[in-house]
A = this chain, B = another copy of it.
Amino acid sequence: VSEPRWLSADQERAWRAYRRMNRLLYSQLARDLTRETELSEPDYEVLSTLTEAKEHSWRATTLAEHLQWSSSRLAHHIGRMEQRGLVSREACPEDGRGARIRLSDSGWQAIQAAAPLHVASVRRHFINRLTPTRLAALEEIATTILLYLGESAAGDGGHPKNTRRSVKP
């Protein structure tokens, strides 16, 4: 018995609604962020991830893994952020091939200023719109999908310890 060629009406409505929510929500959050700060979403992710590192510095590889970015995307983006003084690059003591990315003072200030605004935006458009029950349901859905997407072994989902801190969302 093969799969039907199309989705059922219910399935299609759900699929479309889900994708539309993603599109509009993401663009709204990006709009808020760029209006209220000097940071793009990717900038914000880099800075807030570095905030969670000890010494505010991480190996490029580790950072890329956390962000789920390719190494070349990271190198390009870090290059631009370095130009703007948000992060700095330094040689890696343990491994001569490696690089360490460090949050600069001005990067620290930028993320400190941006974080509460971004959290407020996430609350306003997303968190506050859903009951705790629904939010939990969404998390279950996401976990289920991720499980099948090969989340089992690697990546954030498989992290036994969650030591994240400071600038969270």
Contacts and interface: CB of A to CB of B under 8 A. Distances in A.
A138 B136 contact: no
Contacts of A138: 14, 17-18, 137-138, 141
Interface stretch (A19-27, A71-79, A83-91, A99-107): A19-27
B136 A134 contact: no
Contacts of A65: none
Given A13-B139, A23-B68, A6 B145 contact: no
A5 interface: yes
Main DSSP-derived SS at the A contact region: helix
A20 B125 contact: no
Given A122-B15, A129-B144, A116 B5 contact: yes
Contacts of A123: 3, 7
A127 B24 contact: no
Interface in A112-169: 115-116, 119-120, 122-123, 125-127, 129-130, 132, 134-146, 148-149, 151, 155-157, 168-169
Contacts of A21: 141-142, 145-146, 149
A124 B137 CA distance: 21
Nearest to A145: B21
Contact of A135 (B14, B119, B142): B14
Contacts of A140: 134
A145 B11 contact: no
A62 interface: no
List the 3 shortest-distance A-B pairs measured between CB atoms, nearest first: A17-B142, A21-B142, A14-B139
